[in-house]
């Protein structure tokens, strides 16, 4: 590592302002600070010094997503195997197919997103924002594995340009960029984000004489590609908990998501209050729907279906777009969980509500914090008057 440090130090003057390649200073700085902890600290004013910078926090989130990614790769191949009746496929056949389907999504996500980030930083003369390290990791995990790559590229460009850069970059955005990508795909290309079989790699869905059919080489007649949200009776609770069901690449396995949650909570990167309150909100409305006959499934099923738990752990807890006050976090998380399940149960046109719930509460998070602070100030003023 010291050898790499020496090489970086040797070429660094070339990229400093005034150097031969000084116009690429932002790009060089991005790579240097990604490899090494910056050797600068604040020198005046009130501040807290810490060896953990934004890049290191983002890396922890990326590491927390690895279990969901690895399982998603396997499950992509497994769902393809089940759809096409490939009984002779072993573990490595399944994994290899998953890699071939998932890796292109990551290439598009990072190439398009980082190209815009780097270009924006160069134009502004600012440091490259670190936030896209996480957004680029999240995006392929929340989209269908067969989404056309050109559609994904357009959606990523929209999310980075309109969702981040126009607001000032990382730390200034109102909405979660990864969810903006999914929302753009959902409303611009609904046929690729809904339907019963778009979540299984290699299966094409088409309409003929008013009926839906699936087609593919070797596709067995008994295959059903519907996700648990569209057809919950087709899958057991254990199937949904393990994640061996169709769905977005990284959203199906509860076990993989919980492993990531443990890391985020243990390191203090994500708020356990938001996670817990979201679960409470989902359970409350889930059991309300069960009691009123809106659904035949007990409330706890809502936690393992669709992207509820994934959104709760990795996107509702985004420190930029979530509530900042401690009380506000409880309110924010509860409303996300409650709204997500409400949309599922009482909106027949849209079986998944997590995306809309998080984006809506992203919008109202500052308002929640405002009223929490106002209430706290009024309560303290009353105590002062009484005293």
What is the H or E stretch that residue 300 is in? Answer: none
Query: Look-up: residue for tokens 């079989």?
Result: 197
CB 305 within 8 A of CB 229: yes
* Mean local confidence (pLDDT), 25-43: 58
Query: Look-up: residue for tokens 């927390």?
Result: 64
**pTM of the shown model:** 0.82
pLDDT at 334 over 50: yes
CB 95 within 8 A of CB 77: yes
CA dist., res. 28 & res. 237, Å (int): 49
Phi/psi at 260 (5° precision)? -65, -40
Give me the pLDDT at residue 312, please.
Answer: 95
CA dist., res. 118 & res. 138, Å (int): 19
Cα dist from 135 to 25, 205, 256, 326, whole Å: 24, 29, 18, 25
Furthest-apart CA pair in the chain: how many Å? 80
**DSSP helix/strand/coil, 46:** coil
Runs of H (alpha helix) within 164-271? 177-188, 237-242, 254-267
Give me the pLDDT at residue 212, please.
Answer: 38
* Mean local confidence (pLDDT), 146-165: 89
Q: What is the mean pLDDT of the chain?
A: 81
In terms of Cα–Cα distance, which of 242, 278, 235, 272 is closest to 257?
A: 242
Give me the pLDDT at residue 221, please.
Answer: 38
Cα–chain center distance at 224: 27
Percent of the chain past pLDDT 70, that is, above it, reads: 71
Residue 6 burial (10 A CB sphere; 0-12, 13-18, 19+) = exposed
Give me the pLDDT at residue 19, please.
Answer: 66
pLDDT at 175 over 60: yes
Beta strands in the chain (DSSP E): 204-208, 211-215
In terms of Cα–Cα distance, which of 249, 252, 231, 225 is closest to 307?
A: 252
* Mean local confidence (pLDDT), 209-225: 40
12-15 own/partner pairs: CB under 8 Å, 24+ apart: none
Give me the pLDDT at residue 134, please.
Answer: 87
Q: Which of 25-39, 143-157, 226-240, 357-371 has the lowest mean pLDDT?
A: 25-39
Sign of CA dihedral 162, 324, 334, 312: positive
Confidence label for 9 from pLDDT (cuts 50, 70 and 90): low
Confidence label for 224 from pLDDT (cuts 50, 70 and 90): very low
- Cα-only R_g, the chain: 23
pLDDT at 315 over 90: yes
């Amino acid at each position: 590592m010291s050898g790499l440090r020496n090489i970086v130090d040797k070429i660094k003057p070339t990229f400093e302002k005034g150097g031969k390649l000084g116009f690429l200073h932002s790009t060089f700085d991005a790579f240097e600070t990604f490899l090494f902890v910056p050797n600068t600290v604040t020198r005046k004013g009130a501040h807290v010094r810490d060896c953990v910078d934004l890049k290191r926090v983002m890396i922890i989130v990326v590491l927390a997503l690895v279990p969901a990614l690895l399982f998603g790769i396997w499950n992509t191949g497994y769902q393809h195997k089940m759809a096409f009746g490939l009984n002779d496929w072993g573990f490595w056949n399944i994994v290899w197919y998953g890699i071939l389907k998932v890796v292109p999504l990551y290439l598009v996500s990072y190439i398009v997103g980082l190209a815009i980030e780097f270009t924006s930083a160069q134009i502004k003369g600012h440091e490259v924002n670190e936030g896209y390290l996480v957004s680029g990791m999240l995006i392929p995990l929340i989209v269908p594995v067969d989404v056309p790559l050109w559609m994904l590229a357009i959606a990523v460009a929209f999310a980075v340009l309109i969702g981040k850069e126009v607001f000032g970059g990382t730390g200034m955005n109102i909405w979660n960029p990864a969810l903006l990508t999914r929302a753009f795909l959902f409303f611009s290309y609904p046929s690729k984000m809904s339907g019963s079989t778009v979540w299984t790699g290699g299966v094409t869905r088409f309409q003929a004489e008013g009926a839906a059919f699936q087609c593919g080489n070797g596709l067995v007649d008994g295959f059903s590609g519907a996700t648990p949200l569209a057809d919950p009776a087709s899958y057991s609770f254990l199937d949904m908990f393990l994640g061996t069901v169709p769905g977005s690449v990284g959203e199906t396995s509860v076990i993989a998501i919980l492993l990531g949650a443990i890391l985020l909570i243990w390191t203090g990167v994500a708020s356990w209050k938001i996670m817990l309150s979201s679960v409470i909100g989902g359970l409350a409305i889930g059991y309300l729907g069960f009691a009123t006959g809106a659904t035949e499934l007990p409330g706890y099923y809502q936690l393992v279906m669709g992207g509820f738990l994934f959104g709760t752990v990795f996107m509702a807890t985004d420190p930029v777009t979530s509530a900042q006050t401690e009380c506000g976090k409880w309110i924010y998380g509860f409303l996300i969980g409650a709204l997500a399940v409400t949309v599922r149960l009482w909106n027949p046109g849209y079986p998944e509500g997590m995306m809309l719930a998080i984006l809506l509460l992203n919008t109202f998070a500052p308002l929640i914090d405002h009223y929490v602070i106002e209430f706290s100030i009024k309560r303290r003023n009353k105590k002062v008057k009484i005293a």
